[in-house]
Chains A and B, each alone.
Chain A
Amino acid sequence: MNAETPAAPAAKSKKVVSANPADRYSNAGPSPDPWARCALIEYGGDRSYAWTVRERVIHTPAAETGRTEQQLLKSLATPGRTEAGLAFICQMLAMVGSAKSVPVLAPLLQDAKTTEAARYALQPITGPEADAAFLAALGTLTGNAKAGLIGSIGVRGDTAAKSALTAIKDAATEPAIVRGAATRALARIATFKA
């Protein structure tokens, strides 16, 4: 073939869609999506995808946190999500989560297996939506998890929770650690203005 031979037209191939524009210069396939891969991290494993997401979350301009929040919520739904991945995503949501996160986090808060991570994300989210999620979880959690939940309600200062917490404080069927948590939460809430 000499230099003047016109190139054959490129065969039509299936277009590769990648989140990374730089991928069009590479034949190595699309870059993994860090928003999905951060949900799959393992304790002791590679956390570079989580680091990438963390950097994006932290440096999101205030006006765009809603979009970042949506990406994190999408990450939560990644198939095969790991325990470490859940914890990481919830740590990120603790920084940028809003009322829009509550419907996704509320079921996780009620599940003893996921409640710790969900509470980490939900505790700093202000507003009645999150308050309601905490109150609803009082009916499903038990033991230590319930005590931790009550502690978060106390820290949030939800005055509307007083009657529920008073009932728990006085319930002979509740373990001492739960009743004690309710007592302290009520004392804490008393320092907040209604």
Chain B
Amino acid sequence: MNSSPLSRRDFLRHSALATAVAAAPLILPSGLRGQNAPSKKITVGIIGCGNIADGHYGPLLGSPESLKVLGVCDVDRDRVNAAAVRVNTAYENTDCKTYSDFRELNRRPDIDAVFICTPDHWHALIAIDAMRNGKDVYIEKPLTLTIAEGRAVVEAARKYGRVAQHGTQHRSMKRFHDVAEFVRNNGLGKLDRIDCWIPPNNRFCDATWKPEAVPANLDWDLWLGPAPWRPYSSIGCHYNFRFIAESAYGQVTNWGAHYLDIGQWALGMDDSGPVSVEGKGEFPSSGLFTNATSVNFTVRYANGVPMHCRTRYEGGGTVRFVGERGWLDIARDKMSASDPNLLREMQAPNKPIQLELSKNHQDNFFECVRSRARPIADVELGHRTTTVCNLGQIAMVLGRKLQWDAAKEEFVGDDAANRLRTRAMRSPWSLA
């Protein structure tokens, strides 16, 4: 047996294998080697110590009996030092090391897994480098910036036999699981459409931004990495990168990655995608921010079901499934239906199609690091969801309807659209 993750379907189908896997002589990550590997601590590195990483410290530091954070990495010295203090304070020691260059952390042989919480334009390269160096990876959403990067990450995960979890934690929330499973089992009858609502941009930049001196604590060249060079501006760095198309695709990838993902799950499209996309976005014509301030696109699947994605200015993100029996509306903190009976039916056991249930996204990842099974949000489905986000972005940029071949991962008969599936990286970085 090699260390390649099993497909989740195979893993569940042969339940006896689950026990066998734990005892089998797998090629385990460095810290897990040993006869009683499940009792060993999994060692972790965190790359990117900003806003998104904040949500991981609690779970990672709260299980010192099974997990240990050995290193933190950020190109902002203030941020990485603060992260190290946080880790060392929790452990009451000074063991956590700091890094400004992810390659140094990735080359530590004693680290089993890395959490990638950087700006989106870095996700693919850091993940591939980590997997090449034998790390399992938890990659924050969106999986990658471009479609080509996403496929490269999936290929790397398979080539190096690594566990790779996409940070779409809705997949590990029972509410979303139940709705997806209910829809998959035709609980709403024939599905009419899916409506995804995403929040509006929460930062803005007018035409008055100016280049600034790079702060002494920041390695701006490494912050940019593969993104096209531009001068430093505090407006266009931490957090706000998501509104600049060289780094991210705004709320399309920030929140769309969550809600479009549930649509993909409910439709059984985890290894495929829609057949067409069209949309219109409102893009700022001045200032540093270039991503849409208003989003409106529709992807359509081979069964005829459309999934709409639109900006909603009040009420936050949500996904609504509309079928012949009514509708279900679900967000992180609430769920409602056109008929209360639908909510009761949803809880009925023994549905013909049963989706995997994960109670906690980080726990699921670490369980898979030990078992070598594929996680609840394996990179393939993460890539497919991120692709849907990309399709919407590309359709809005080009302003025309596009046909998509999900098997070939290419647009049909549209050279300009196909070119937007990838982009050249700034030296010395490359997907090759």
Which of B37-45, B70-78, B421-429 is the interface stretch? B421-429
Chain B residues, Cβ within 8 Å of A177: 428
A31 contacts partner chain B, Cβ-Cβ < 8 Å: no
Per-residue contact bits, chain B 409-427, to A (CB 8 Å; 1 contact, 0 not): 0000001100110111111
Let me know if A155 and B432 touch, CB within 8 A: yes
Given contacts A119-B424, A123-B424, contact A151 B286 (CB under 8 A): no
Chain A residues, Cβ within 8 Å of B64: none
- Give Cα distance in the complex from A82 to B431, angstroms: 29
B228 contacts partner chain A, Cβ-Cβ < 8 Å: yes
Size of chain A's interface in residues, with CB distance under 8 A? 41
Let me know if B419 and A184 touch, CB within 8 A: no
Per-residue contact bits, chain B 272-310, to A (CB 8 Å; 1 contact, 0 not): 000000000000011010000000000000000000000
Q: How far is the CB of B243 from chain A (nearest CB, A)?
A: 15
- Give Cα distance in the complex from A155 to B419, angstroms: 13
Per-residue contact bits, chain A 172-194, to B (CB 8 Å; 1 contact, 0 not): 00000100010011011000000
Let me know if B285 and A51 touch, CB within 8 A: yes
A43 contacts partner chain B, Cβ-Cβ < 8 Å: yes
Let me know if A46 and B427 touch, CB within 8 A: no
Let me know if B428 and A147 touch, CB within 8 A: yes
Let me know if B428 and A120 touch, CB within 8 A: no
Closest to A189 in B: B432
Q: Which of A32-75 contact B (CB under 8 A)?
A: 43-44, 46-48, 51, 58-59, 62, 65
Chain A residues, Cβ within 8 Å of B285: 47-48, 51
Chain A residues, Cβ within 8 Å of B211: 43-44
Q: Which of A79-122 contact B (CB under 8 A)?
A: 87, 91, 94-96, 115-116, 119-120, 122
For chain B, the bracket of interface size reads 20 to 34
- Give Cα distance in the complex from A177 to B427, angstroms: 11
Given contacts A46-B286, A58-B398, contact A155 B228 (CB under 8 A): no
Chain A residues, Cβ within 8 Å of B399: 58-59
A150 contacts partner chain B, Cβ-Cβ < 8 Å: yes
Q: Of A59, A94, A95, A96, which one neighbours B424 at CB under 8 angstroms?
A: A94
B207 contacts partner chain A, Cβ-Cβ < 8 Å: yes
Q: Of A48, A91, A150, which one neighbours B430 at CB under 8 angstroms?
A: A150
DSSP class of B's interface residues: helix, strand, loop or mixed? loop
Which of B111-119, B229-237, B336-344, B370-378 is the interface stretch? B229-237
- Give Cα distance in the complex from A143 to B429, angstroms: 12
A140 contacts partner chain B, Cβ-Cβ < 8 Å: no
Chain A residues, Cβ within 8 Å of B207: 46-47
Q: Which of A148-165 contact B (CB under 8 A)?
A: 148-155
Chain A residues, Cβ within 8 Å of B415: 62
Let me know if B428 and A144 touch, CB within 8 A: yes
Let me know if A145 and B427 touch, CB within 8 A: yes
Let me know if B427 and A148 touch, CB within 8 A: yes
Q: How far is the CB of B128 from chain A (nearest CB, A)?
A: 10
Residue numbers of A with Cβ under 8 A of B are 43-44, 46-48, 51, 58-59, 62, 65, 87, 91, 94-96, 115-116, 119-120, 122-124, 143-155, 177, 181, 184-185, 187-188
30 contacts between A and B (CB under 8 A): A43-B230, A43-B231, A44-B231, A44-B233, A51-B285, A51-B286, A58-B397, A59-B399, A62-B415, A62-B416, A87-B229, A91-B228, A95-B420, A119-B427, A120-B228, A120-B423, A120-B424, A123-B423, A123-B424, A124-B424, A145-B427, A148-B428, A150-B430, A151-B425, A152-B432, A154-B432, A155-B430, A155-B431, A177-B428, A187-B432
Given contacts A47-B207, A152-B432, A155-B431, 13 further A-B contacts (CB under 8 A): A44-B211, A44-B231, A58-B399, A62-B416, A94-B419, A116-B228, A116-B427, A151-B427, A151-B428, A181-B428, A181-B430, A184-B430, A188-B432
